[in-house]
């Protein structure tokens, strides 16, 4: 469930937001999980999709500063990043100079020509959790209409309700009025099915708790115990959940 205070469209708009966004994630547990787990998995998934049926056209939705888009461009000859924030796209241009970057709101009927075709693969990270329900539905509907049948949508939920972090966030919402959001695998799957997708796989990470974004057990121990937790099959209880869905 979500408790938005305003449209998510406005959350990353404004001078300097791109630099602040990257700085906010540097040196945090998020960056460790990205480097050691999510990035290698994403590259594996993208390489597989690029090899299917000579897939060539790739879109990174809500591309932000280009972290995910950069990975996609390593495998697809044509990569497009779209975001509503001009400032975030400024950072993306420096990080991914070879990409086509488009400032647009895909829920608007008037869109650049580059977004009118069909895509073979789409990534969508750090969007679903905090977008309001109407925006989620509109975006997923647009994506489904612009993807070939069988095309992959690779995305994430970065605060799963089944995780320790998700439980603490839910308690904070209940008892202190926090506006932070949580989503379950079931809720994400329901959104995707309604839009015309089917879930193919889930991959969970960041099982162990953090303390204000830092590893609660220290970097060395947290890194090793996280690997043990994943080996034991506890990924479904991770804060970070990456999904692969197919356009039906």
pLDDT mean by block of 10 residues, the chain; 248 residues: 61 81 81 94 97 91 97 96 96 93 91 92 97 97 97 97 93 86 97 98 95 89 95 97 98
In a domain, 103, yes or no: yes
Sequence-ordered list of residues with C-beta below 8 angstroms from that of 82, at least 6 positions apart, any chain: 59, 60, 61, 62, 63, 101, 102, 103, 104, 106, 115
Instruction: Say how many domains are in the chain.
Output: 1
pLDDT on residue 2 = 41
Q: What is the domain extent for residue 13?
A: 8-156+181-205+240-247
DSSP secondary-structure letter at 180?
Answer: -
pTM for this model (two decimals): 0.93
Rounded to a whole number of angstroms, the distance between the first and last alpha carbons of the chain is 26
In a domain, 219, yes or no: no
In a domain, 67, yes or no: yes
Specify the CATH number for the domain of residue 82: 3.40.50.150
Cα–Cα dist 41/95, whole Å = 20
pLDDT on residue 173 = 84
Give 201: exposed, middle or buried? Use CB within 10 Å, 0-12, 13-18, 19+: exposed
Bridge-partner residues for 202, per DSSP? 243
Q: Which two tokens stand for residue 231?
A: 């080996």
In a domain, 214, yes or no: no
Cα–Cα dist 242/119, whole Å = 20
pLDDT on residue 174 = 86
């Amino acid at each position: 469930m979500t408790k938005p205070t305003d449209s998510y469209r406005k959350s990353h708009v404004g001078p300097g937001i791109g630099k602040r966004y990257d700085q906010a994630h540097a040196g945090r547990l998020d960056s460790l999980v990205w480097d050691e787990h999510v990035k290698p998995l994403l590259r594996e998934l993208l390489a597989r999709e690029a090899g299917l049926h000579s897939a060539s056209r790739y879109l990174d939705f809500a591309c932000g500063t280009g972290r995910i888009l950069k990975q996609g461009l390593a495998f697809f000859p044509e990569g497009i990043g779209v975001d509503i924030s001009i400032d975030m796209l400024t950072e993306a241009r420096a990080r991914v100079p070879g990409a086509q970057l488009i400032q647009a709101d895909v829920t608007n009927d008037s869109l650049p020509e580059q977004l009118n075709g069909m895509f073979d693969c789409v990534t969508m990270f750090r969007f679903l959790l905090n977008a309001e329900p109407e925006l989620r539905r509109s975006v997923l509907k647009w994506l489904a209409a612009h993807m070939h049948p069988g095309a992959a949508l690779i995305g994430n939920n970065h605060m799963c309700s089944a995780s320790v972090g998700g439980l603490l966030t839910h308690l904070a919402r209940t008892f202190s009025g926090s506006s932070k959001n949580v989503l379950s695998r079931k809720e994400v799957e329901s959104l995707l099915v309604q839009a015309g997708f089917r879930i193919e796989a889930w991959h969970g990470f960041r099982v162990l708790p953090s303390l204000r974004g830092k590893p609660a057990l220290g970097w060395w121990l947290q890194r090793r115990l996280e690997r043990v937790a994943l080996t034991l099959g506890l990924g479904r209880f991770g804060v970070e959940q990456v999904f692969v869905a197919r356009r039906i």
